[in-house]
Structure 1
Amino acid sequence: MLPGLTLDMPGKYNADMTYTGIYLYSITGGQDDLLQVHGLLHQSITMSYHQPLELPVRMAIWEIKRGRKIFALAEYNGGQLEIHNEQFMDRLQASDSGASLRISSLRMEDTDVFKVEIILTNLQIQTVYFNLTVHEPVPAPIISAYTGRDSEGRCEFTLNCSVPTNTSLIWFSWMYREGDSGYWHHANGSSISITLQNLAETTEFLCLAQNPADIKNASFHSQQICQNLKSSSRGQDDLLQVDGLLNQSITMSYHQPFQLPVRKAIWEIKRGRKIFALAEYNEGQLEIHNEQFMDRLQASDSGASLRISSLRMEDTDVFKAEIILTNLQIQTVYFNLTVHEPVPAPIISAYTGRDSEGLCEFTLNCSVPTNTSLIWFSWMYREGDSGYRHHANGSSISITLQNLAETTEFLCLAQNPADIKNASFHSQQICQNLKSSSNRTRWIKFSVLFLVVAVLCLVLLLFIKITKH
C-alpha cells in the first residue's frame, strides 16, 4: 500500500493485493441468445455469434425487432448481402457466411434490437438477438483540486472529476501510481479525499470517465499542490515533473499564488551546468530567443505559465523560470519536461481456453505492436454494464470464470506517463465456444457410453439365451 496514503471516503483499495484469477457468476438458459452490444457514435461494431455451428451456413436473415414488430434489414445468400433497409444502406458488411454483421458509421438511431436467423445446410435455424446501444463519446474529464493544506508534514486535498457536458451514463473511477510504476485502483466515484504523508510529490492520480463504449482519462500530480505547500513552508526552488505527448501541447505552470503581482518572467533551458536563453515576458509581450521554439510558445499568468505547442522529442529538457515580482523578489522554478511518443493501440491475445466442471479458464496477454519503451500494462474488468474495477497489473492475467460468466469484459490499459490506450475482451468470445464444445463432448461421451451399454446388454442377452439352450 502507498505509504502515508489514507482514504477519507468509501472505496475498494487494492494496492496490496495480488490476483491470480477472479471468480464471477452468471446464469444462462437454453432459450434464444440475447447478446448486449455497445457501439460508439461514428465508429463501427460487429454483431457476431461466437458459438461454433455444427454445419455450414446456408443463408442468414437479419431483421430489426421493435416490440412485436419485425422489420427487414438484410439477407445473406450465395455469398451476397442484400440490404433491405434504407437507414443502413452502404453501412453493412457481412462475414462468417452471414452469421456476423458489421455496421459502420454508427448513428444514435441505430440503437435497436437486431435479430438474425442463421439457417444451416440441414435447414436447422439458429436464432440470435443483439441488443445494440449506441453511445456518444465520453468528453475529456476535468480534474479540480480543493482545500490543499500542509499540516505536520501531511499534504491534504480533495480531487473532483467531471465532464463539461451533461452526458448521461458516465461513471468515474480513480487510479494512482508512484513515480513511473504501474497504476493501482484507488476508488470509484467522482470525488476523492487524499492525505499524503511526507509530501509524496511523485504520486499521480488518474481519473477514468467511461460509458459502456468509451473511456477517457485525466491525470493530476500531487506535486501540483504538495510542492507548492512545501515551497511556501521551506522557501526552496521547485522542480516539477511535466510529461508531454509528441505533437501535442503542454503548459508549464507554477500553481502557487504570489504575494505581489508579477513584473516580468525570464524562461531558460538548463542543460547540466549550462543555461540557454528561451524567452522573456515583460509588459504583456513574450519575446522568444530560441529558434527551436519559435512560433510554438505562448505565455499566460503574466508570464508565470508557458505553453509549448507541437511538442517534439528534442523538447525534452529542464526548463527554468525566474518570476520577478513588483518588489523585485525572484521566485525560481524548474520544470523537468519529458516528451513521450503516443502509446500504440494494444492487442489482446487469448490462450488455453478450456471448460472444466462449469469453469471457463483462459489466459489473456496484452501487448503493443511496436517496441516502444516505458509502457506498462494493467487490467480492469466489469460485469454487464457496471463500472470497471481494477483486476491486476502486468501484461498477462489468468482467468477462471464459474458458470461461464459470458457478460464479463476485461479491459487492458497500456500507458506511459503521457498517454493511455485500451483494448477490451469479452469472456463470451471463449466461454460460449467452450460451452458449446463442452456440450458436444458430453453428448459424444453419453452416446459412446450408451452404445457400450447397449452392446454389453446384447451380449448378455445372447449369453443367457445360449446357456438356456
Structure 2
Amino acid sequence: MHQAERNSQCVLISEPTSQSPSTSGPFQACPLAASSVPLEALKNSMCSRGWEWWLALELLLLPLVLLETSVQDHLVHRLMAVSGSNVSLQIPENLSEKYKQLTWFNTTKQKILEWEWESDKTKYFRSKFETRITFDPQSGALNISDVRKEDSSDYLVRVLMASGTEREWKIPLEVFDPVPKPVIEAKQIKKVDNTCYLTLSCTVPDQSVNYEWYGDSGPLPQEFQRSVLNITLNPQNFSKSFTCQVSNHVSSENATVYFTSSCVLARSFGVTRMASWLVVTAPLVLGFLLT
C-alpha cells in the first residue's frame, strides 16, 4: 500500500510489522497472523466503529443543543383582586420578538383563547370566562371583567416565537370578596373601684380576616390584636372609644364603640364617626393596594 493511501484511511492502531506486536501505548494489538484478518478489512472495521462513537457523542450532546429552544417556564408574583373588579393578566416581559401563536390557559388543560399570527384572529374556547374576557394581541394581555372568587387559579400563557422558541409564564390570581362591616358586642363591662374590666367581641361572617384594635391614641399593642379584646382600664389609660378594623388583602372595614366615662357605654352604640388616625391610615392602605 502506498503512503498516500495509508494517510487517507481512518487508522486507529499501528500497522502490523514483521516484528512482534508492541504492547506499549493505550491500545494493545491482537496477536493475529497477517493472513487470518486482512489489513484492509481491519481498517474499515475500526473506521466504522469510530463513526459510531462520534454518532453516540452527538446524541448525548443533542439535549444540550435543544435546551436553547425548549419551553421556558416563569412564575409571576401572585395577583390579588377584589371580586366584582376588572383584572388584566399581563405578560411580565415585552414581546419584542414577533410571535406566531399565543395561548391562554385556565389550567394546564383548559384553553381560554388562542391567537395566531397568520390569520390575525382570536379563537375563544368554551369556558366560564366566555362572555367576560377580551384579548390584546399587541401586549398579549388577558382582560377579565367582573372577577369572582371561583376565578382564583394559576393562569398559564404559552407563546410560540417566530424563531421557534416556546415560552411560558404562570400567573397566579387570587380573588377575595370585600370584607363586610364588623359588629362589636360588649361581652363584659365591670367596674371595680377605679378599674374597668372590659371585654369586646368583634365579629364578621368571613373568618379569614385580620383584626386590629385601636384606642383614642392609635393601635393597641400586638397582644390585643385578635377578634376578642380583653383589656383593663384605669384613669391613666382610659380611652373614650375602641375601634375594631378587619381586613384582608384587598379591602378593610371598621366599627367603633364609645364611652362617656370609664366603664359607661355611650347610648349611641353604632355611631359611624371615624377616628382621626383612621382618616390618615386609610389613604396609605389604599395606596399600598394599588401599587
TM-score range, shorter chain: 0.5 to 0.7
Answer whether contact 1:240 1:334 (CA < 8 A) is retained.
no
CA distance in 1, matches of 2:155, 2:214: 40
CA distance, structure 1, for counterparts of residue 197 and residue 137 of structure 2: 56
Q: Is the CA contact 2:212–2:219 (under 8 Å) kept in the aligned structure 1?
A: no
Secondary structure of the structure 2 residue equivalent to 1:349: strand
Q: Does the Cα contact within 8 Å between 2:211 and 2:225 map onto a contact in 1?
A: yes
Distance 1:402 1:262 in 2: 71
AA of the residue aligned to 1:420: S
CA positional deviation for 1:379: 1.2
Q: Identify if the C-alpha distance between structure 1 residues 341 and 382 changes in structure 2 by more than 3 Å, giving closer, same or farther.
A: same
5 Å matches for 1:397-436? 397-403=229-235, 407-426=239-258, 428=259, 431=262, 433=264
Q: 1:323 to 1:380 in 2, by over 3 A?
A: farther
Distance 1:259 1:312, change over 3 A: closer
Contact 2:73 2:170 in 1 (8 A): no
Q: Cα–Cα, structure 1 residues 281 and 360, in superposed 2: closer, same or farther, change >3 Å?
A: farther
Aligned match of 2:96: 260
Cα distance in 1 between the residues matched to 2:182 and 2:239: 21
Question: Helix, strand or coil: the match of 1:351?
Answer: strand
What is the CA distance between 1:275 and its match in structure 2? 0.6
Q: Once superposed, which parts of structure 1, at least 4 consecutive aligned residues long, lie more than 6 Å away?
A: none
1:320 Cα deviation (Å)? 1.0
In structure 2, how many angstroms separate the alpha carbons of the residues matched to 1:389 and 1:405?
Answer: 11
Q: Which has the higher helix share?
A: 2
Say if 1:325 and 1:350 are closer, same or farther in 2 by CA, change over 3 A: farther
* Structure with higher strand content: 1
Structure 1 equivalent of residue 198 of structure 2 = 362
In structure 2, runs of 5+ residues without a counterpart are: 1-71, 267-291
Q: Superposition pairs for residues 156-195 of structure 1, below 5 Å?
A: none
- Residue 298 of structure 1 and its aligned partner are, at CA, apart by 2.9
Q: What SS does structure 2 have at the residue aligned with 1:342?
A: coil
Looking at structure 1, the residues matched to 229 and 187 of structure 2 have their Cα atoms a distance apart, in angstroms, of 10
How far does residue 401 in structure 1 lie from its aligned partner after superposition?
3.0
Question: Which residue of structure 2 lines up, in the alignment, with residue 149 of structure 1?
Answer: none
How far, CA to CA, are the matches of 1:306 and 1:409 in structure 2? 47
Aligned residues of 1:246 and 1:340 also touching (Cα < 8 A): yes
Partner of 2:63: none
Letter matched to residue 375 of structure 1: S
The question of whether the paired residues in 2 share the 8 Å contact of 1:281 and 1:303 is answered with no
Which of 263, 285, 288 aligns to 2:124? It is: 288
- Give the letter for the 2:232 counterpart: T
Is the Cα contact below 8 Å between 1:321 and 1:334 reproduced in 2? Answer: yes
Equivalent residue number for residue 213 of structure 2: 380
Q: TM-score, normalised by structure 2?
A: 0.52
| Amino acid of the structure 2 residue aligned with 1:352 | Q
Give CA-to-partner distance per residue, 1:335-393, whole Å, 9 cap, x none: 3334443332211112222334433331121112x3x4x52331132435xx6566443
Query: Does the C-alpha gap of structure 1 residues 293 and 365 become closer, same or farther in structure 2, counting only changes over 3 Å?
Result: same
The one-letter code of the counterpart of 1:278 is: I
User: What is the aligned counterpart of 2:82 among 245, 248, 255?
Assistant: 245
TM superposition shift of 1:279: 1.3
Aligned equivalent of 1:349: 185
Cα displacement (A) at 1:406:
5.5
Greater mean alpha carbon deviation, residues 321-330 or residues 280-289:
280-289
SS at match of 2:198: strand
Name the CA distance, whole Å, in 1 between partners of 2:123 and 2:216.
Answer: 55
Larger radius of gyration: 2
Residues 434 and 397 from structure 1, CA distance in 2 versus in 1: closer, same or farther, beyond 3 angstroms?
Answer: closer
Report the 3-state secondary structure (helix = DSSP H, G, I; strand = E; otherwise coil) of the residue aligned with 2:264: helix
Q: 1:400 to 1:279 in 2, by over 3 A?
A: same
User: How big is the alpha-carbon RMSD for the aligned residues of Structure 1 and Structure 2?
Assistant: 3.5
Are 2:157 and 1:321 equivalent residues in the alignment?
A: yes
* 8 Å Cα contact 1:286/1:298 also seen in 2: no
Using the TM superposition, give the Cα deviation of residue 394 of structure 1 relative to its aligned residue in structure 2, in angstroms. Answer: 2.1
Q: Give the match's secondary structure for 1:345.
A: coil
Assess, with a 3 A threshold, how the Cα gap between structure 1 residues 325 and 401 changes in structure 2: closer, same or farther.
farther
**1:333 partner SS:** strand
- The aligned residue for residue 112 of structure 2 is 278
Structure 2 counterpart of 1:397, which letter?
Answer: L
1:311 to partner: Cα distance = 2.0
1:186-205, Cα deviation, whole Å (9 max, x unpaired): xxxxxxxxxxxxxxxxxxxx
User: TM-score under structure 1 normalisation?
Assistant: 0.35
CA distance in structure 1 between the partners assigned to 2:225 and 2:116 by the alignment: 48
Partners of 2:189 and 2:263 within 8 A in 1: no
CA contact (8 A) 1:381 1:408 kept: no
Q: Give the counterpart letter for 1:277 in structure 2.
A: K
Question: Percent identical across equivalent pairs?
Answer: 18
Partner Cα separation in structure 2 for residue 259 and residue 297 of structure 1: 21
Alignment of 1:139-158 (within 5 A): none
Tell me the secondary structure at the aligned position of residue 103 of structure 2: strand
